[in-house]
Amino acid sequence: MLRVKNLHAYYGHIRALDNVSLHVQGGEIVSLIGANGAGKTTILNTISGLIRRAKGEIDFENKKITGLRPEKVVAAGISQVPEGRQIFGPLTVMENLELGAFLRYKKKEKKAIDADLDWVFQLFPRLKERSGQIAGTLSGGEQQMLAIGRALMARPKLLLLDEPSMGLAPLVVRDIMNTISELRKTGMTILMVEQNARASLRISDRGYVLETGRVVLQGPSDELMNDADVKRAYLGKDYKTFWEGRERP
């Protein structure tokens, strides 16, 4: 479904991505893990059109989306839940959800939008209870639910999740991860960035480990979970010994 090939990206003169290649098949959950500054969020933002790539190609459903503006990427079927939620705090829960379907309102899809609102409220009953509440007054977990719900209102084929567990209590993290698993059962394809490697890999099919803008390891999630070097990479320790005894890809 998604193929990223030889992607390079910069922040000014600082290289953020160095020849990154990855793929996501339809119906998969794929995790990107690694320490802060490894380039995980940059990958999502480049796919979404928020950051210009310097080199490389991005294909989605066998069509090139490299260089498309963010709204065109959304129209193509990709929605992103950004790091830190970035909900519209002064607006109500319902207004946030309606904004997620902005492009669909322009196509006069009101009946389908109403059906998707019901679906989001089934996934997150607390959002229905708080539909008239100002979004900025929600708890952190509720704001994360809203951010996911808002992205789903665009009816994406591919959902990009950036740190969905950030700043949340363990029980809330469990609920969010369970919901992500349920979304996969509906046919949703998910590419997820997550610092909580254990929680992320537990619900993923495959994973990629990033270090300083490069993919250094990839494989099935169960194998990565049991790899001691992956644990060191995630914790940001022992980087000098990460490749001892291991051949670089």
**C-beta of residue 79 within 8 angstroms of C-beta of residue 103:** no
DSSP alpha helices (H): ranges in 166-240? 170-185, 197-203, 221-225, 228-235
Domain 1-68+189-235 has CATH 3.40.50.300: yes
Spell out the residues 6+ positions from residue 29 whose beta carbon is closer than 8 angstroms to its own: 180, 181, 184, 189, 190, 192, 203, 204, 205
**6-50: per-residue pLDDT in tens?**
999 999 889 999 999 999 999 999 999 988 889 999 999 999 999
**229-242: per-residue pLDDT in tens?**
776 656 444 444 44
Residue with tokens 């992500």: 180
**42-91: per-residue pLDDT in tens?**
999 999 999 999 999 999 999 999 999 999 999 999 999 999 889 999 99
Quote the pLDDT of residue 108: 78
Q: Could you tell me the residue ranges of all domains in the chain?
A: 1-68+189-235
Is 247's pLDDT higher than 90?
no
pTM: 0.89
Quote the pLDDT of residue 232: 67
Is 113's pLDDT higher than 80?
yes
Quote the radius of gyration of the chain (alpha carbons, Å): 18
Size (the chain), residues: 249
**C-beta of residue 44 within 8 angstroms of C-beta of residue 238:** no
